[in-house]
Structure 1
């Protein structure tokens, strides 16, 4: 197979100049047929991109950078391909003999200017892959913007995710096309947009000099009555915050009762080294007791310690995207000793792995990434007859690209025979809100879900974000982020140094969140 990209010669960008597209585990050759420009770009666009490269990316190359010398291997003739992907706004080449003629659209409109207009309006566009021969939409997705710095970064992210979707469309795998609404705001002019972004970037750098960012914290409460899944909001008993030392953050809390003890496991990240480990603290029915203690550390970053019981044993599957695998650890001494037992999947980035059993099979959900674009917008599902596999990919992987409904946010629950899962809503940034999604259909070949309820930070859970939900018995846990001045961590260490060898925050029961200042 040969894939041909049709791109405008006068606006050649780094993301276009590729020799292959990774499809079904193989690198398929890509040719580029350069065409004439069909519509001009905004005046001064490339100068603004150059400014962003210096200020926002510290000189690092990006996919939106212009390419002046076109690669010789990219020269191709129109018509010499099995699949044509037309990135221009020109009419379809009706003489093309390609078996498949695709055109990406951004909020329903073809061309780079359409993608830029959406970004300038303050939102990354909905991407559609359209079969130009009959007008059908083969796939549709809405990317997340965690790595989209500025206008050029937004364009880079959009095109990276467009290539991800194209690989899936070309693979022949059945696509489960979601219904996603366009966000059609009024676009701003490029210069004010870029200058504002540069100013915001400088402000963030100053903020990071003064504060640890992001700084996640764990909320907990005992709720003897209805839980969040019943109330569909954060009402009920006041939330407490698990105290941290200031220069560490705690996130992704997962409670479990095992061998008569209730323990909450969580990501413990030291801001000074930027790497997470898995730590834990015990609860006694009233709150946390004893000290926070480390339970699992690797040379790479660990987070999201998903727990599952199998054959009378307790197992942990922490996020291990930095090592590009999905490992499983066996608890050999509860709660503080774990040993690596097996690798369920390898050679891929799959974040926040969460497993459920449904109709006799195990299903593994995770936020999938192919090395580019955002971290929270693409869902992949795998299934197996046994926990330890072999695990097979869902027929339509990647299942879904939608920043609002993709990334796992805690354990599955069953309510009145219906399966639900919490999802991260990253519409307004990573981990900004929680969605409660009902799974309508799940099999090795099908998947449908719908978000019924949305939970956001507010008076009942102050802070800036909300991105994990779990429960064990009457103990409910969530997490969010807050402003954490670096001086607070220094003050905590100073206060604790004169009292004991252990910092005073360890084992402390924090005030209800409503009493805290943020």
Structure 2
């Protein structure tokens, strides 16, 4: 991460379901409620949400450049999208992000990105929404990045980016399969099913229909998280996945000055969660932060 530029993200709630955004192919027509960031050189990103008891529970990565580490925070909003509560639900010695939250088998689960821990860990809500416990019986072959599970007729699929080599974290999409959520999971193909920087890293919740799945993918060709590229995967799955390029979604002008990137599109009922980016160029302040961070680790 360069000291000459700082990526600051901001989370927004679009007042439209994710399928409507896909059909229109743009965020411009929709009203967006922007959530405040927690302070200077901190941001909220990677939002995923669930409605429960009339309240929207938004799980986000909270990142602080002073610690160079992300934790998972929760914001609880009412029906008018006003923030009622805000706090931390998951913090580890390693970086956490992409808190993919979903419901299955009568439980609520979270599958955050944590490749620096050396594994992919599934969490179960012991007391939703604040208390989560790791699930030791969940088995996955690698510390997958931005792992996104989908329930299909014949079991489960997992879309993810490999942790190594580093160059493939934004240029390789892999698919794994399991009969049950707990696994064991096995890669469906020996090679990545996609291999480009424009549509290979997951960026949100899939839209599942009878004959297709639409995948929100990050476009990282010009900058990390520059836009969300929608991919349509035809069903049933053939010998090799058949993808069709859909709309490319960019930060709307209403997000100004956070219009230099967008890398999450996640559905939550009648709303959709997004994040957009502002690039701040401020070498002296970032340099001081990085020096302090390095000294704190000595």
Give the TM-score category using the shorter length.
0.7 to 0.9
The corresponding residue for 2:213 is: 419
Per the TM alignment, residue 252 of structure 1 is displaced from its structure 2 partner at its CA by 0.5
The corresponding residue for 1:48 is: none
Structure 1 alignment gaps of length 5 or more: 1-146, 148-203, 490-518
Larger Rg computed on CA atoms: 1
Q: How high is the TM-score relative to the length of structure 1?
A: 0.51
The corresponding residue for 1:233 is: 26
* Cα distance between partner residues in 2 of 1:425 and 1:476: 19
Give the one of 283, 288, 308 matched to 2:77: 283
CA deviation string 1:42-64 (max 9, x = no partner)? xxxxxxxxxxxxxxxxxxxxxxx
State yes or no: 1:348 paired with 2:142: yes
The corresponding residue for 1:467 is: 263
Per the TM alignment, residue 235 of structure 1 is displaced from its structure 2 partner at its CA by 2.5
Task: Return closer, same or farther for 1:308/1:445 CA change in 2, 3 Å cut-off.
Answer: farther
State yes or no: 1:367 paired with 2:172: no
Task: Return closer, same or farther for 1:345/1:443 CA change in 2, 3 Å cut-off.
Answer: farther
* Cα distance between partner residues in 2 of 1:314 and 1:477: 19
The corresponding residue for 2:86 is: 292
Task: Return closer, same or farther for 1:226/1:235 CA change in 2, 3 Å cut-off.
Answer: farther
Q: Secondary structure at the match of 2:222?
A: coil
Q: Secondary structure at the match of 1:482?
A: strand
* Cα distance between partner residues in 2 of 1:448 and 1:324: 31
Per the TM alignment, residue 260 of structure 1 is displaced from its structure 2 partner at its CA by 4.5
* Cα distance between partner residues in 2 of 1:221 and 1:424: 18
Give the one of 10, 15, 18 matched to 1:222: 15
Higher RCO structure, 1 or 2 (CA under 8 Å, sep 6+) = 2
Per the TM alignment, residue 443 of structure 1 is displaced from its structure 2 partner at its CA by 4.0
Question: Which structure: greater helix fraction?
Answer: 1
Question: Which structure: greater strand fraction?
Answer: 2
Structure 2 alignment gaps of length 5 or more: 286-298
Moved more, 452-461 or 464-473: 452-461
Task: Return closer, same or farther for 1:421/1:438 CA change in 2, 3 Å cut-off.
Answer: same
The corresponding residue for 1:201 is: none
Q: Secondary structure at the match of 1:397?
A: coil
RMSD: 2.5
Task: Return closer, same or farther for 1:271/1:235 CA change in 2, 3 Å cut-off.
Answer: same
Please say if residues 56 and 77 of structure 2, whose CA atoms lie closer than 8 Å, have aligned partners that are also in contact: yes
State yes or no: 1:358 paired with 2:155: no
The corresponding residue for 2:67 is: 273
* Cα distance between partner residues in 1 of 2:81 and 2:52: 17
Please say if residues 15 and 31 of structure 2, whose CA atoms lie closer than 8 Å, have aligned partners that are also in contact: no
Give the one of 170, 175, 183 matched to 1:381: 175
Task: Return closer, same or farther for 1:256/1:335 CA change in 2, 3 Å cut-off.
Answer: same
Per the TM alignment, residue 371 of structure 1 is displaced from its structure 2 partner at its CA by 3.2
* Cα distance between partner residues in 2 of 1:444 and 1:327: 30
Task: Return closer, same or farther for 1:438/1:428 CA change in 2, 3 Å cut-off.
Answer: same
Per the TM alignment, residue 332 of structure 1 is displaced from its structure 2 partner at its CA by 1.0
